[in-house]
């Protein structure tokens, strides 16, 4: 895990060659440009509807059936095709809503049959009022003075028509009136058929337009490249027929750009970052662990002068997710879903990173589920082989509380150890060691109170006391030039000790691992028990209902576990861990290079 070391490179060349040199730099790639002039606030040749082109490409790529790709760009017009695709998408959305509304209306009207409401004059001023009444409430109509007739009934409801000049009062009928509308059932079905045919035609047009996907992608990428090139021309420094171009590049690529400068006859200067510079951050991790980069950059890009927490987050997120899930059966389900999506995730770099992270999380969740003995909320009997692998009882509240706190203490202690390493050789590194001793010693003292261990109690007193002294003496970066500076250093140390309350709160935050894991297991067990009760209470149909309860219940619990694992697994990294290890925020390295398909 590392933040790539960067060099600042400056090229100088003839102004007449600027565009050609910039084109070559863009083709070479790997340089993060530094503005030497304020760019004008305008767009630089990008497509007029950039978001629209992206939306249109996504819509066409999502089409199940794609046509043979056209390679001749003679008749190709990016803006026209984009407008056509977006128009089809909008029309499909509109007609789909109409189709759904018609289907819902047909379902409501179908029990009444296909009929045409008569004109009021044909019934001598009387009108028809429609009611869907539960069978258990039909007795209330026996004493009703209204003229009514049941026209249809099923196992649950009776469909009743009342003949009256005006709508019966609400208190005179068991239920509120049903609005059937004036359009006959046959007309509704005809309208739905027409909408369905139109949707099929639009789908055919969409499939026909998929033949332009490749040309759209290439031309769109070229347009973006030209926009980047135009912008790059505005941020160089131009004076007396000479231009200067400056940028950040990875140290490993220095030789490549030096050869480039020599080949094109450019003056070149390569420097290390100055203390006042703020270089971008480029992360570099092993391919198998690079999924942590995407998580880290999603929340906060670390500062160039900081450190890369990607690998720590990669593993700690997996562990936290596993503890929140706490079920081997659920982990196996996620594993099957991952196997099903494995090939599709491998089609992009981020997808390949994500699937490795997901695989790591599934494996750790499966191991944790086995040692905690949870299988869809069911714990195997002791005589079963798998029960021998159970070494953690999630229902042991005291034990799980100690384990959760221990995980939090270890996580925060690791954060302070890393911060101490990063601060070395500054004496402020001892302040981070002080926090490390304080959190570990406090945990030992708490354990001694629950286990009555004198050795732990002594450790729990010595370590926090030592940590407090280190915090008091070394929290300040103030120099010692006169005796008064010692007073101010001690005052800074006293102020830093206020952070003990935050340390205490951050450690307690890891209790959510125990609470959410217990909630997941308890909810799974509840659905299992409810299914068994229904099965025994309703012989025959009880089997069907119990299966439905199990499926719906465990799917719901799976979704809750997924959301809890993602939200709280990331939160413990980004809030608690970052608070003690990652301070300054940086900005990502963005290479000036060509994009898209070639």
Q: Would you say 562 and 331 are in contact if contact means Cβ atoms under 8 Å apart? A: no
pLDDT tens, residue by residue, 158-172: 888 888 888 888 778
Q: What is the pTM for the complete model shown?
A: 0.77
Ranges assigned E (strand) in 5-120: 6-14, 32-34
From CA 3, how far away is CA 5, in angstroms rounded? 6
- Average pLDDT over the chain reads 87
| pLDDT over 50 (residue 245) | yes
Do 335 and 460 belong together in one domain?
Answer: no
Q: Kindly indicate the confidence band of residue 594, based on its pLDDT and cuts at 50, 70 and 90.
A: confident
Do 405 and 481 belong together in one domain?
Answer: yes
The pLDDT of residue 266: 92
- Paired with 186 in beta bridges are none
- Look at 484 and 278; give whichever has higher pLDDT: 278
The pLDDT of residue 499: 84
For residue 321, being part of any structural domain is answered with yes
| pLDDT over 70 (residue 1) | no
The pLDDT of residue 201: 94
Cα–Cα distances in Å, from 123 out to 117, 153, 168, 205, 275? 10, 25, 17, 50, 93
- Could you tell me the residue range of the domain that residue 127 belongs to? 118-180
Do 306 and 361 belong together in one domain?
Answer: yes
Share of the chain above pLDDT 90, in %: 45
Do 367 and 515 belong together in one domain?
Answer: yes
| pLDDT over 50 (residue 179) | yes
For residue 310, being part of any structural domain is answered with yes
What's the domain count of the chain?
3
Q: What are phi and psi of 129, to 5 degrees?
A: -125, 135
For residue 17, being part of any structural domain is answered with no
Q: Would you say 376 and 336 are in contact if contact means Cβ atoms under 8 Å apart? A: no
For residue 228, being part of any structural domain is answered with no
pLDDT tens, residue by residue, 321-332: 999 999 999 999
Determine the number of helices (DSSP H) and then strands (DSSP E) in the chain.
18, 10
| pLDDT over 90 (residue 473) | no
Q: Kindly indicate the confidence band of residue 412, based on its pLDDT and cuts at 50, 70 and 90.
A: very high
Q: Kindly indicate the confidence band of residue 5, based on its pLDDT and cuts at 50, 70 and 90.
A: very high
Q: Which of 456, 479, 505 is the last residue of a domain?
A: 505
From CA 348, how far away is CA 341, in angstroms rounded? 13
- Paired with 537 in beta bridges are none
Do 164 and 137 belong together in one domain?
Answer: yes
Q: Cβ contacts of residue 330 below 8 Å, gap of 6+?
A: 365, 369, 376, 520, 524, 554, 557, 558, 561
**What is the phi-psi region of residue 544: left when phi exceeds 0, alpha when psi lies from -120 to 50, beta otherwise?**
alpha
For residue 590, being part of any structural domain is answered with no
Work out the average pLDDT over 31-40: 85
Work out the average pLDDT over 263-284: 92
Helix (H) or strand (E) segment spanning residue 153: strand 147-153
pLDDT tens, residue by residue, 487-501: 667 777 788 888 888
């Amino acid at each position: 895990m590392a933040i790539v070391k960067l060099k600042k490179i400056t090229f100088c060349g003839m102004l007449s060659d600027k565009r050609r040199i910039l084109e070559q730099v863009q083709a070479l790639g790997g340089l993060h440009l530094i503005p030497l002039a304020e760019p004008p606030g305008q767009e630089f040749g990008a497509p007029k509807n950039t978001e629209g082109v992206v939306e249109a490409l996504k819509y066409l790529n999502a089409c199940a059936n794609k046509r043979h790709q056209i390679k001749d760009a003679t008749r190709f017009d990016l803006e026209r095709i984009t407008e056509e695709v977006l128009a089809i998408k909008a029309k499909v959305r509109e007609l789909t809503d109409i189709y759904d509304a018609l289907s819902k209306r047909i379902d409501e009207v179908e029990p009444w049959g296909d009929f045409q409401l008569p004109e009021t004059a044909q019934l001598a001023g009387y009108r028809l009022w429609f009611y869907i009444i539960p069978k258990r409430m039909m007795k209330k109509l026996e004493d009703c003075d209204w003229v009514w007739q049941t026209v249809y009934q099923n196992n649950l409801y009776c469909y009743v028509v009342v003949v009256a000049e005006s709508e019966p009062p609400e208190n005179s009928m068991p239920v509120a009136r049903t609005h059937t509308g004036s359009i006959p059932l046959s007309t509704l079905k005809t309208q739905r058929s027409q909408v369905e045919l139109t949707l099929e035609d639009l789908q055919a047009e969409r499939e026909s337009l998929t033949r332009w996907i490749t040309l759209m992608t290439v031309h769109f990428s070229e347009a973006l490249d030209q926009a980047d090139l135009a912008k790059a021309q505005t941020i160089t420094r131009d004076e007396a027929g000479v231009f200067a171009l400056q940028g950040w590049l990875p140290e490993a690529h220095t030789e490549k750009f030096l050869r480039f400068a020599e080949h094109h006859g450019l003056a070149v200067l390569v420097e290390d970052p100055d203390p006042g510079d703020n270089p971008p951050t480029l992360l570099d991790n092993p391919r198998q662990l690079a999924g942590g980069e995407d998580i880290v950059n999603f929340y906060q890009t670390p500062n160039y002068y900081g450190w890369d927490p990607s690998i720590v987050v990669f593993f700690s997120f997996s562990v936290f997710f596993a503890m929140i899930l706490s079920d081997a059966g659920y982990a196996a389900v996620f594993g099957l879903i991952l196997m099903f999506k494995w090939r599709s995730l491998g089609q992009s770099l981020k997808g390949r990173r994500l699937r490795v992270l997901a695989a790591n999380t599934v494996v750790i969740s499966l191991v944790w589920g086995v040692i905690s003995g949870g299988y869809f909320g069911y714990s195997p009997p002791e005589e079963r082989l798998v029960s021998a692998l159970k070494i953690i009882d999630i229902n042991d509240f005291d034990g799980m509380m100690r384990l959760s706190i221990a995980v939090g203490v270890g996580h925060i202690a690791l954060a302070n150890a890393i911060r101490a390493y990063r601060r070395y050789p500054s004496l402020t590194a001892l302040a981070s060691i002080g926090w490390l001793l304080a959190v570990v010693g406090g945990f030992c003292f708490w354990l001694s109170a629950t286990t009555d261990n004198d050795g732990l109690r002594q450790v729990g007193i010595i370590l926090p006391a030592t940590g407090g002294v280190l915090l008091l003496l070394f929290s300040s970066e103030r120099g010692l030039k006169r005796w008064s500076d010692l007073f101010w250093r001690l005052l800074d140390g006293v102020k830093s000790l206020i952070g003990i309350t935050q340390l205490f709160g951050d450690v307690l935050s890891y209790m959510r691992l125990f609470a959410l894991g217990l909630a997941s297991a308890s909810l799974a067990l509840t659905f299992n028990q409810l299914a068994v009760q229904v099965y025994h209470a309703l012989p025959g149909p009880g089997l069907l209902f119990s299966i439905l309860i199990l499926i719906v219940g465990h799917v719901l619990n799976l979704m809750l576990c997924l959301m809890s694992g993602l939200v709280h697994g990331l939160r413990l990294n980004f809030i608690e861990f970052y608070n003690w290890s990652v301070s300054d925020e940086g900005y990502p390295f963005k290479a000036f290079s060509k994009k898209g398909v070639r």
